[in-house]
Amino acid sequence: MGAFLTWAPLLLDALSFVLVLALVALGLVVIFGLMGVINLAHGELFMLGAYTVVLAVGWGVPFWLAVVLAPIAVGAVGWLVEVLLIRRLAARPLDTILATWGLAIVLQQAAVLAFGPGSRSVARPTDATVTFAGISYPAYRLELMAIAALVLVATMALFARTRVGLRARAAIADPDMAAALGVNVRRVRAQSFVLGAALAGLAGALVAPIISVDPHMGFGFLVPAFLSILAGGGVSLGGVLGGAAIIGGADSLLGHWMSPVVSQIVVFLIAIVAIRLRAARAAGS
């Protein structure tokens, strides 16, 4: 019982990190799957989502409205980035990587100029706790988990079950044939970038009250998000969750009894093992 009381909150913390990480990783996967773009500015889109909430709440906007506005604002930024940058570099993957890397730096510096180099915070919408089976846990984190899980499921359902999603999958599988059937492949790609950006923005908005918001926060999520994708096996939406569970779970739990540096190294080792296991399984099948 005592072990349960100490472990349950840690596991819940890990789960909330996993779900947020999965949102970030899913955005990356959507963008990579549809556009072949490795978006190194994804962490900064996440950061913009967090700042949107900080700013909006500062202006007196209710917290939950700010959480709704953040993915819209970041999606709009994503749209601009797609039109002004990504579209012009179509079919030049290496240039796109460099361009998004440059964009990441620009966005970080813009955030430093606009909001200062220090960290900002935003109050949780509620300080209530929920008590269950002897443990009490912050209500906001439970709400965060519910929303993240819901959005993950909805995004997957969008791709798996709707006509729009079917066309997007067709554009991934065979863009020429999809176009010949009447799919506006370029528009589908632009929409996927907006969706991916919006997912990152939502993730940033949701974590704004529980981590410190600063111009460099994106990188801390980008690396585990990429590791999650690799560990989960590339571009399948289900794999993203599995990968996020491995990487985010390890990251979050190990941090409790190791120094950050050691736990990062262990997370990397776990990622390497997971990637190699997947490769071995793929080679075997």
Partner 1 sequence: MLEIRDLRAGYGQSMVLNGVNLDIAHGTVTALLGRNGMGKTTLCRVLIGLLPMTSGTITLDNDSISHMAPHRLARRGLAYVPQGRSIFARFTVQENLDLGLSARGGRIPPHIFEWFPMLAELRGRRAGTLSGGEQQMLALARALVAEPSLLILDEPSEGLQPSRVTAIGDVLLRIVADKRVTVFLVEQNLALVRRVAAITAFLVDGVIAGGAAGRDLSPQSPLIQRYLGL
**Near partner 1 by CB under 8 A: residue from 6, 136, 184, 259:** 184
Minimal distance in Å, beta carbon 186 to partner 1? 8
Question: How many residues bind to partner 1 according to rule CB under 8 A?
Answer: 17
User: Token pair of 75, please?
Assistant: 């999606």
Distance CA 82, CA 74 (A): 12
The alpha carbon of 58 is separated from its chain's Cα centroid by a whole number of angstroms, namely: 24
Minimum Å gap between C-beta 177 and partner 1 is 4
Contact between 182 and partner 1 per CB under 8 A: yes
Place of tokens 């990480």: 21
Task: Identify the residue among 94, 154, 180, 283 touching partner 1 (CB under 8 A).
Answer: 180
* Planar angle of CA 102, 103, 106, nearest 5 degrees: 90
Q: Does 258 bind partner 1 (CB under 8 A)?
A: no
Please provide the distance, in angstroms rounded to a whole number, between the alpha carbons at the two ends of the chain.
43
Interacting span for partner 1 (CB under 8 A) from 138-146, 183-191, 227-235, 238-246: 183-191
Q: Which of residues 148-167 bind partner 1 (CB under 8 A)?
A: 163, 166-167
Q: What is the three-class DSSP state of 167?
A: helix
The two tokens of residue 32 are: 């990579």
Closer residue to partner 1 (CB): 177 or 277? 177
Q: How many helices and strands in the chain, by DSSP H and E? A: 11, 2
Give the separation between CA 65 and CA 25, rounded to whole angstroms.
Answer: 24
For the record, the structure tokens of 13 come out as: 């913390």
CB nearer partner 1, residue 54 or residue 178: 178
CA–CA separation, 221 vs 108, rounded Å?
A: 14
Whole-number Å distance between alpha carbons of 204 and 70: 8
Q: What is the identity of the amino acid at 238?
A: G
189 binds partner 1 (CB under 8 A): no
Residue in the structure block whose two tokens are 């349960």: 4
Count of CB atoms within 10 A of residue 268's CB?
A: 14
Of 177, 262, 265, 277, the one binding partner 1 (CB under 8 A) is 177
Q: CB of 30: closest distance to partner 1 in angstroms?
A: 18
User: Among residues 38, 89, 179, 211, which is the contact residue for partner 1, using CB under 8 A?
Assistant: 179
Nearest approach, Cβ of 119 to partner 1 (angstroms)?
46
Return the number of the residue (128 or 157) whose C-beta is nearest partner 1. Answer: 157
For position 87 contacting partner 1 by CB under 8 A, the verdict is no
The minimum distance between CB 167 and partner 1, in angstroms, equals: 6
- Residue choice 91, 94, 154, 173 for contact with partner 1 (CB under 8 A): 173
Task: Check: CB of residue 86 under 8 Å from CB of residue 193.
Answer: yes
Among 123, 181, 269, 279, binds partner 1 (CB under 8 A): 181
With CB under 8 A as the contact rule, the residue among 97, 112, 149, 170 that binds partner 1 is 170
Q: How far is CA 190 from CA 34, 77, 183, in A?
A: 9, 12, 13
95 contacts partner 1 (rule: CB under 8 A): no
Tell me if 38 contacts partner 1 by CB under 8 A.
no
Positions that interact with partner 1 (CB under 8 A): 163, 166-167, 169-170, 173-174, 176-185
